[in-house]
Structure 1
């Protein structure tokens, strides 16, 4: 039996849900991840997906939107956390991704 959705106190995570991370020091790295499988009560399999620039503020900043199903990496398995404003996952110790609406754009900036 394939799990289609998991319910949390701060929202739901479904197959195809998109997460966004935004992190960095001198630049803002913005990455998108798509849920490709759900396991148990709190675990998601995610894959990084492509981003499309939808606005350029300058040559080094702008806004991005996710491109669902345009996978860019190997699957990763992460536990979904529900202690924040919306479901989230830690991709790495320095990178937390939160669930987002796929039509929403997100700021990025680059250096050099």
Structure 2
């Protein structure tokens, strides 16, 4: 069911229907059966959040609180993406990336950036120096002298990471030792 169909269904037999877009949220206000409503659709959602009140002033007060929350979340998202853009810009030739992935164990892979053009990077997997803290766990650091496989191209995401495959996302390595485990 589309959002428009949902709105038509909900506001059937309603009066004083008004719609506004506030950042990434569509808000529909209306009066139905002597109750004052507003519904909010966040992003591309087709499922709204419902709110109803006995009086119009109560609805407006609640709507103002909701709008403040929407604005705050939007500002946090914008700031997060701005920071990630700065991080993304720091990924350049020679940057070491790492990924941490696995189920019931933690696998670590390292990559080196060989080339960058806009948001496309050519990377190559590199080896790691493992330190054992136990039989099947420890820490590791990259070994740039051990190239693994062939270089390949990937795109830097808006989250300053690189999607290697379905289970693996690589991000900028900070130079610290990274914990790994292998239970099998």
Band the TM-score falls in, shorter-chain normalisation: 0.7 to 0.9
- Report how many aligned residue pairs link the two structures: 99
Q: Which residue of 2 aligns with 1:61?
A: 137
Q: Larger relative contact order (C-alpha < 8 A, sep ≥ 6)?
A: 1
> Per-residue deviation at 1:9?
2.0
The one of 94, 101, 107 aligned to 1:23: 101
* CA–CA separation in structure 2 for the residues paired with 1:51 and 1:72: 10
* Structure 2 residue ranges without an equivalent (≥5): 1-83
> Per-residue deviation at 1:10?
3.0
Q: Which residue of 2 aligns with 1:52?
A: 129
Alignment of 1:1-112 (within 5 A): 9-11=85-87, 12-39=90-117, 41-53=118-130, 55-83=131-159, 87-101=160-174, 103-112=175-184
Which consecutive aligned stretches of 4+ in structure 1 deviate over 3 angstroms post-superposition? none
The answer to whether the 8 Å contact 1:10/1:82 transfers is no
Higher helix share: 2
The answer to whether the 8 Å contact 1:34/1:69 transfers is no
TM-score, normalised to structure 1, is 0.81
Deviation digits for residues 50-93 of structure 1, max 9, x if unmatched?
A: 1001x32211000000012421111111001132xxx2100001
* CA–CA separation in structure 1 for the residues paired with 2:161 and 2:142: 17
TM-score, normalised to structure 2, is 0.51
> Per-residue deviation at 1:111?
2.2
Higher strand share: 1
* CA–CA separation in structure 2 for the residues paired with 1:47 and 1:57: 28
* CA–CA separation in structure 2 for the residues paired with 1:14 and 1:93: 24
Q: Which residue of 1 aligns with 2:3?
A: none
